[in-house]
Amino acid sequence: MSTTTHLMTAEELIELADHGHRHELVKGVLLTMSASGTDHGLVTMNLSLLLATYIKANNLGVALAAQTGFKLESNPDTVLAPDFSFIKKERTPPRTTSYAELAPDLVVEVNSSTKSRRYVERKAAQWLSFGVQSVWVVSCQNKTVEVLSANGSRVLFTESDVVTDEDVLPGFHVRVFEIFN
């Protein structure tokens, strides 16, 4: 007896009802995740507001809301969705109801108690492998922000530090404690 596994496409994923879950696609395999908790939501919103306000005020490009999907591979398809993303103005794709077929310049992944550190590390490495310039890993438990760059550098910012990322967001700075309050 043989078993055939159907690999899902990005087109099928975008039509999928969420039923209270979040979905991503890795090499055609559907990943289903539970909705995030309150701490994750508050931290994601705080940082998203700070980043989006700066990006818009300085006409740097587009800030995209949590769970906006990016089609990063085809045949089989990979569609990932970060907690926040930014695409520089010169790379901004046309608006569409489908997934953008490019890697953002910046992604933020918030690590709450529902996600293991190893999962978030794998996802950050995955983003970088697809061409993202900078990944911010935000830890709700440790109240830290780690900035991982495409050039291989990693900088850990603690609660008393000021986060900067001059290569991707020139001039942007925020005190880490503001993200968690």
Residue-wise pLDDT tens digits, 137-173: 999 999 999 999 999 999 999 999 999 999 999 999 9
* Mean pLDDT to the nearest integer, 18-26: 79
Q: Given this model, what pLDDT does residue 5 score?
A: 67
Residue carrying structure tokens 């830890």 = 139
The pLDDT of residue 45 is above 90:
yes
Tell me the CATH number for domain 36-179: 3.90.1570.10
Placement of tokens 């992604």 in the chain = 107
CB 104 within 8 A of CB 86: yes
**Residue 53 φ/ψ, nearest 5 degrees:** -60, -45
Q: Residue 87: what pLDDT?
A: 98
Residue with more model confidence, 135 or 4: 135
pLDDT tens for 62-101 read: 999 888 999 999 999 999 999 999 999 999 998 888 999 9
DSSP string for 152-178: S-EEEE-TTSEEE-TTTSTT-EEEHHH
Rounded to two decimals, the pTM is 0.92
Work out the mean pLDDT of the chain and round it to a whole number: 91
Distance of CA 97 to the CA centre of its chain: 19
Choice between 8 and 119, residue whose per-residue pLDDT is larger: 8
Q: How far is CA 167 from the centre of its chain?
A: 17
- Count Cα atoms within 13 angstroms, Cβ side, for 69: 21
Angle at 59 between CA 57 and CA 65, to 5 degrees: 80
* DSSP-derived secondary structure for 75-136: TTTEEE--SEEEEEGGGPPPP-SS-BSS--SEEEEEE-TTS-HHHHHHHHHHHHHTT-SEEE
Task: Convert the pLDDT of each residue in 94-131 to its tens digit.
Answer: 888 899 999 999 999 998 765 677 888 889 999 999 99
- What distance in Å separates the CA atoms of residue 64 and residue 181, rounded to the nearest whole number? 22
